[in-house]
């Protein structure tokens, strides 16, 4: 069974909904990036790519993997398919590509893309809703903002800690602007919307997304809820006050973003077109796990533990760790569970160039984006260095992947 190498990895800019990339569809975002990946890897004939797997969770459907393969110029013979695992879609797409290469060989592009700006509005009986049910009836299915607030309450994660993590993300992203620029490979010249120079004082000014005083008061138009599925009704009902609510704010929550991220993968050794192999990373293992759908932010720690246990790697052996920063509360819960946070101090191996809190969160692409970041970080590390990435997934799941700098 061949080892699988990352031949190239990159992303587009991450820009806010209705901003710089608002007119680009998901296949346009991904197509530009995929073509750039082949050029970066030194593949002279794009038709040499044997398949495309893309994760996405809000697009128009119609198999964005195939549409992006055609948009990239990979040829009519190049198949493409799509994955929907919410925020883990891009990471799961990479895992599927690795499995496929180990089985059949070939070169596969995998990652994720999201274009909230061009996503169609979803409606049931003429009523719009923004988040699909993630579990069947009878299971807890909070919207993810409420889930983050519940998690903060359950774990005693204060507003101050959440704001401090957001400030850290922006600060580190500003300090590592060169690394962020190196990740952008679509050739568009568009820059990320973030990071920003934020301060604790500025973050403290944001109002809570779920304020403690937001007790259900019957203000919701009950007629608008008639005939709607239970999951949709739950998301539309007024928020109920619970202790700890009030800590999750726009400042410590990742912004919605348009963007794509992908990796070009193939068997190692990974010389291309007769050229010697360049420094690269190897995909050592990947995992997808389940957890409590009521508190999806608790799942990444378990996924990382299982990944490391399965591979016999201790947490202390990791030289780099990337975690999708959808919410500060979710990241801090993971770090607390792994004993990687001590008060205001966070292990320096974690998200050393910031994350989604600074750059934005293109849902289906974010799991691939942290793998892109991890790949570029490991290329500057000594051969043999290990790194892991993880992301929480709505519905109570999590994914994790282990990479290693080649010898």
Which tens digits make up the pLDDT trace of 3-35?
Answer: 999 999 999 999 999 898 989 999 999 999 999
User: By mean pLDDT, which of 116-130, 213-227, 304-318 is the weakest?
Assistant: 213-227
In a domain, 142, yes or no: no
Average pLDDT of the chain is: 88
Contact 13, 190 (CB under 8 A): yes
Q: Is residue 11 part of a domain?
A: yes
* Residue 223 resides in a domain: no
Q: What angle do CA 116, 117, 119 make, to 5 degrees?
A: 60
Per-residue pLDDT band for 108 (boundaries 50, 70, 90) equals: very high
Q: How far separated are the first and last CA of the chain, in Å rounded? A: 19
pLDDT of residue 234: 38
Confidence tier at 61 by pLDDT (50, 70, 90): confident
Instruction: Indicate if the pLDDT at residue 228 is higher than 80.
Output: no
> 236 pLDDT band (50/70/90 cuts)?
very low
Distance of CA 176 to the CA centre of its chain: 19
**Structural domain count of the chain:** 1
152 in any annotated domain: no
* Phi, psi (deg, nearest 5) at residue 300: -60, -40
Q: What predicted TM-score, i.e. pTM, was given to this entire model? A: 0.90
Mean pLDDT of 212-231: 32
Res 70 pLDDT > 70: yes
302 within a domain of the structure (yes/no): yes
Give a yes or no: residue 176 inside a domain: no
CB 43 within 8 A of CB 108: no
- Give the integer Cα–Cα distance in Å for 366 and 114: 9
Residues in Cβ contact with 333 at an 8 Å cutoff, skipping those fewer than 6 apart: 151, 155, 157, 297, 298, 301
Residue 239 has pLDDT above 60, yes or no: no
pLDDT per position as a tens digit, 368-397 = 999 999 999 999 999 999 999 999 999 999
Q: Is 27 helix (H, G, I), strand (E, B) or coil?
A: helix
At residue 123, the 3 state secondary structure works out as strand
Q: Is the pLDDT of residue 227 over 90?
A: no
CATH number at residue 386: 3.40.47.10
Average pLDDT estimate for 101-129? 90
402: left (phi over 0), alpha (psi -120 to 50) or beta: beta
Residue 274 binned pLDDT confidence (cut-offs 50, 70, 90): low
For the chain, the maximum distance between any two Cα atoms, rounded to a whole number of angstroms, is 69
- pLDDT, greater one: 274 or 210: 210
DSSP result, 338-407: TT-EETTEE-TTB-BTB-HHHH-B-HHHHHHHHHHHHHHHHHTSPTT-EEEEEEEETTTEEEEEEEEE--
Which domain, by its residues, includes 75? 4-120+257-405
pLDDT at 218 (0 to 100)? 27
- According to DSSP, residue 253 is labeled B
The pLDDT, as a whole number, for residue 180 is 94
The count of other CB atoms within 10 Å of the CB of residue 104 is 10
What pLDDT, on a 0 to 100 scale, did the predictor assign at position 136? Answer: 85
Q: Could you tell me the pLDDT band of residue 127, with boundaries at 50, 70 and 90?
A: confident
| Better-scored residue on pLDDT, 209 or 320 | 320
Average pLDDT over residues 87-105: 96
List Cβ neighbours of 98 (8 Å cut-off, separation of 6 or more). Answer: 4, 265, 283, 286
Q: Are the C-beta atoms of residues 267 and 283 closer than 8 Å to each other? A: no
Q: Which pLDDT score, from 0 to 100, does residue 270 have?
A: 62
Let me know if residue 240 belongs to a domain: no
Task: Assign 212 a pLDDT band (cuts: 50, 70, 90).
Answer: low
Q: Is residue 357 part of a domain?
A: yes
| The pLDDT of residue 113 is above 70 | yes
Got the DSSP string for 241-307?
P-TTTT---GGGBPPBEEEEEEEEEEESS---TTPPPPS-EEEEEEEEEE--TT-GGGHHHHHHHHH
Shortest CA distance to 320 belongs to which of 400, 261, 381?
381
Average pLDDT (172-199) is: 92
Q: What is the pLDDT of residue 316?
A: 97
Residue 120 pLDDT class (50, 70, 90 cuts): confident
Q: Is the pLDDT of residue 258 over 80?
A: yes
């Amino acid at each position: 069974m061949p080892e699988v190498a990352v031949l190239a990895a990159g992303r587009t800019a991450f820009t806010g909904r209705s901003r710089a990339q608002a007119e680009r569809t998901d296949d346009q975002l991904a197509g530009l990036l995929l073509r750039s990946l082949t050029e970066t890897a030194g593949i002279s004939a794009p038709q040499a790519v044997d398949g495309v797997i893309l994760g996405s969770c809000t697009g128009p459907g119609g198999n964005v993997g195939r549409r992006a393969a055609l948009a990239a110029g990979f040829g009519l013979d190049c198949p493409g398919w799509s994955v929907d695992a919410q925020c883990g879609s891009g990471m799961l797409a990479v895992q599927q590509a690795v499995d496929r290469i180990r089985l059949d060989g070939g070169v596969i592009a995998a990652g994720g893309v999201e274009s909230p700006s061009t996503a169609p509005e979803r409606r049931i009986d003429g009523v719009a809703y923004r988040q699909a049910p993630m579990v069947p009836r009878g299971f807890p299915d909070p919207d993810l903002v409420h889930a983050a607030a519940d998690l903060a309450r359950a774990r005693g994660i204060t507003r101050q800690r959440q704001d401090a993590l957001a400030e850290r993300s922006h600060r580190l992203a500003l300090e590592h602007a060169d690394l962020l620029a190196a990740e952008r490979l679509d050739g568009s010249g568009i820059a990320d919307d973030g990071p920003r120079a934020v301060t604790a004082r500025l973050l403290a000014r944001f109002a809570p997304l779920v304020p403690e005083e937001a007790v259900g008061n019957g203000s919701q138009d009950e007629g608008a809820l008639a005939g709607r599925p239970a999951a949709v009704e739950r998301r539309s009902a007024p928020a109920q006050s619970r202790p700890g609510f009030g800590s999750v704010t726009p400042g410590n929550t990742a912004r919605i973003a348009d963007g794509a991220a992908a990796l070009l993968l193939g068997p190692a050794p990974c010389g291309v077109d007769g050229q010697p192999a360049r420094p690269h990373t190897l995909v050592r293992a990947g995992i997808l796990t389940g957890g409590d759908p009521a508190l999806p932010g608790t799942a990444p720690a378990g996924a990382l533990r299982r990944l490391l246990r399965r591979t016999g790697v201790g947490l202390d052996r990791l030289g780099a760790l990337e975690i999708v920063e959808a919410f500060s509360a979710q990241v801090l819960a993971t770090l607390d569970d792994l004993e990687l946070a001590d008060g205001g101090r966070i292990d320096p191996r974690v998200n050393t160039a910031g994350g989604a809190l600074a750059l934005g969160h293109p849902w289906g692409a974010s799991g691939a984006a942290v793998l892109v970041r991890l790949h570029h970080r490991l290329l500057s590390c000594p051969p043999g260095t290990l790194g892991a990435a993880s992301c929480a997934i709505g519905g109570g799941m999590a994914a994790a992947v282990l990479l290693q700098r080649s010898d």
